Amino acid sequence: MAKKKIKREREIIKLSEAELEDFDFTGGSQWEIRGEIYNHITKVDIPNGDDGEIWEIIVERESDKKLFKWDCWRTSYEYYMSNGNNTIEETFPRTITKVIYE
């Protein structure tokens, strides 16, 4: 019998322009957002054929251990949160097993 997937609503935190001004979203090991502490888990590079780099920052909120991510984009001039939406989105880990025959 197949397991039924339960789809949870993702928590999304939208940063205002004022919050974004003081928020270094490109690096660090810990961030404070609206009084909550978020600890760095990993950085995931996203393959990109355009001019610039794209990656996701994965963090864990200390208070409830929820995982969140935000996208970063770097041009030769500046860093941006991808798509200009300035959001931090809850994410869920998924393990994928890959079989390789040698």
Look at residue 18 in the predicted model and tell me its pLDDT: 84
Residue 13 pLDDT exceeds 70: yes
Look at residue 5 in the predicted model and tell me its pLDDT: 66
Distance CA 9, CA 91 (A): 10
Q: How confident is the model at residue 12 (pLDDT cuts 50, 70, 90)?
A: very high
* pLDDT tens string 48-89: 766 678 889 999 999 999 999 998 887 777 777 765 678 899
Nearest CA to 76 out of 46, 53, 44 is that of 53
Distance CA 6, CA 17 (A): 34
Residue 22 pLDDT exceeds 90: no
The phi and psi torsions of 89 (rounded to 5 degrees) equal -115, 135
Domain extents in the chain: 12-91
Which fold would CATH assign to domain 12-91?
SH3 type barrels. (2.30.30)
